[in-house]
Structure 1
Amino acid sequence: MSSASPPAYHATAQRPEWSALPARLRAAVATRLGAPVVQARTAGAGFTRGFAALLRTADGRRAFVKAAPHAEQPHLVDWYAREAAILSRLPAGLPVPRLRWTLWEAGWFVLCLDAVDGHTPRLPWEQVELTATLTAFTGVAEALADPPAELTALGLPHLADLAREDILWWGEVAAGREPVPPLPAPARGRLAELVALESRLPGYAAAATGLTHGDLRIDNVLVDTTGAAWFCDWSWLCHGPAWFDLVTLLISGYATGLDVDALFAAHPAAADAPDDALDVALAALAGYHLTAATSAPPTASLHLPAHHRWTGEHALAWLSHRRTWT
Structure 2
Amino acid sequence: MSPTSLPPVPYHASARRPSWPALPAALRDAVAARLGAPVVSARTAGAGFTRGFAAVLSTADGGRAFVKAAPAAEQPHLVEWYAREAAILDRLPAGLPLPRPRWSLHAAGWFVLCTDAVDGHTPRLPWAPAELAATLAGYAEVAAALADPPAALTGLGLPHLADLARDDILWWGEVAAGREPPPALPAPLRDRLPELVALESRLPGYAAGATGLIHGDLRVDNVLVDTAGRAWFCDWTWLCHGPAWFDLAGLLLTAYAGGLDADRLFADHPAVAGAPTDALDVTLAALAGYFLTTAAAAPATASPHLPAHQRWSGEQALDWLAHRRGWSRPRPDGAGRPGA
**If the length of structure 1 is used for normalisation, what is the TM-score?**
0.98
| C-alpha distance in 1 between matches for 2:298 and 2:286 | 19
Match of 2:66 in 1: 64
Match of 2:47 in 1: 45
Match of 1:286 in 2: 288
Q: Which amino acid letter does the alignment assign opposite residue 304 of structure 2?
A: L
Q: Establish whether residue 250 from structure 1 lines up as the match of residue 252 from structure 2.
A: yes
- The equivalences for 1:102-121 within 5 A come to 102-121=104-123
Post-superposition CA distance 1:155-191 (Å, at most 9, x none): 0000001001110000010011111111123322000
Aligned Cα RMSD in Å? 1.1
| C-alpha distance in 1 between matches for 2:302 and 2:319 | 26
Report SS of the residue matched to 2:157.
Answer: coil
Q: Which amino acid letter does the alignment assign opposite residue 298 of structure 2?
A: A
| C-alpha distance in 2 between matches for 1:205 and 1:9 | 28
Match of 1:21 in 2: 23
Match of 1:187 in 2: 189
Report SS of the residue matched to 2:182.
Answer: coil
Post-superposition CA distance 1:91-120 (Å, at most 9, x none): 010000000000011111101010001111
Post-superposition CA distance 1:251-283 (Å, at most 9, x none): 110001010100110000001110100000000
Q: Which amino acid letter does the alignment assign opposite residue 141 of structure 1?
A: A
Change (3 A) 1:2 1:266: closer
| C-alpha distance in 1 between matches for 2:9 and 2:170 | 24
Number of residue-to-residue matches in the alignment: 326
- The answer to whether the Cα contact below 8 Å between 2:100 and 2:115 also exists between their aligned partners in 1 is yes
Match of 1:75 in 2: 77
Q: Which amino acid letter does the alignment assign opposite residue 313 of structure 2?
A: T
After TM superposition, give the deviation of residue 48 of structure 1 in Å.
Answer: 0.5
| C-alpha distance in 1 between matches for 2:109 and 2:205 | 41
Match of 1:240 in 2: 242
Report SS of the residue matched to 1:176.
Answer: coil
| C-alpha distance in 2 between matches for 1:271 and 1:25 | 47
- The answer to whether the Cα contact below 8 Å between 2:6 and 2:258 also exists between their aligned partners in 1 is no
- The answer to whether the Cα contact below 8 Å between 2:102 and 2:115 also exists between their aligned partners in 1 is yes
| C-alpha distance in 1 between matches for 2:7 and 2:255 | 13
- The answer to whether the Cα contact below 8 Å between 2:6 and 2:126 also exists between their aligned partners in 1 is no
- The answer to whether the Cα contact below 8 Å between 2:52 and 2:68 also exists between their aligned partners in 1 is yes
Moved >2 Å (runs of 4+): 1-7
| C-alpha distance in 2 between matches for 1:183 and 1:257 | 21
**If the length of structure 2 is used for normalisation, what is the TM-score?**
0.94
Q: Tell me, which stretches of 5 or more residues in structure 2 are unaligned?
A: 329-340
Q: Which amino acid letter does the alignment assign opposite residue 158 of structure 2?
A: L
Match of 1:304 in 2: 306
Report SS of the residue matched to 1:94.
Answer: coil
Match of 1:226 among 213, 225, 228: 228
- The answer to whether the Cα contact below 8 Å between 1:187 and 1:316 also exists between their aligned partners in 2 is no
Q: Which amino acid letter does the alignment assign opposite residue 200 of structure 2?
A: E
- The answer to whether the Cα contact below 8 Å between 1:87 and 1:99 also exists between their aligned partners in 2 is yes
After TM superposition, give the deviation of residue 61 of structure 1 in Å.
Answer: 0.8
After TM superposition, give the deviation of residue 2 of structure 1 in Å.
Answer: 7.9
Match of 2:216 in 1: 214
| C-alpha distance in 2 between matches for 1:218 and 1:226 | 18
Match of 2:337 in 1: none
* Worse overlay, 181-190 or 76-85: 181-190
Match of 1:158 in 2: 160
Report SS of the residue matched to 2:92.
Answer: coil
- The answer to whether the Cα contact below 8 Å between 2:218 and 2:247 also exists between their aligned partners in 1 is yes
Report SS of the residue matched to 1:63.
Answer: strand
Post-superposition CA distance 1:209-261 (Å, at most 9, x none): 00010000110000011110000000000000000000010011000101010
| C-alpha distance in 1 between matches for 2:122 and 2:109 | 31
| C-alpha distance in 2 between matches for 1:266 and 1:4 | 24
After TM superposition, give the deviation of residue 295 of structure 1 in Å.
Answer: 3.3
Change (3 A) 1:2 1:260: closer
- The answer to whether the Cα contact below 8 Å between 1:104 and 1:110 also exists between their aligned partners in 2 is yes
Report SS of the residue matched to 1:85.
Answer: helix
Percent sequence identity over aligned pairs: 77
| C-alpha distance in 1 between matches for 2:7 and 2:146 | 34
Post-superposition CA distance 1:12-56 (Å, at most 9, x none): 101111111111110010011110001011110000010000100
Match of 1:101 in 2: 103
After TM superposition, give the deviation of residue 60 of structure 1 in Å.
Answer: 1.2
* Worse overlay, 182-191 or 145-154: 182-191
After TM superposition, give the deviation of residue 3 of structure 1 in Å.
Answer: 5.3
- The answer to whether the Cα contact below 8 Å between 1:99 and 1:112 also exists between their aligned partners in 2 is yes
- The answer to whether the Cα contact below 8 Å between 1:186 and 1:320 also exists between their aligned partners in 2 is no
Match of 2:276 among 267, 274, 298: 274
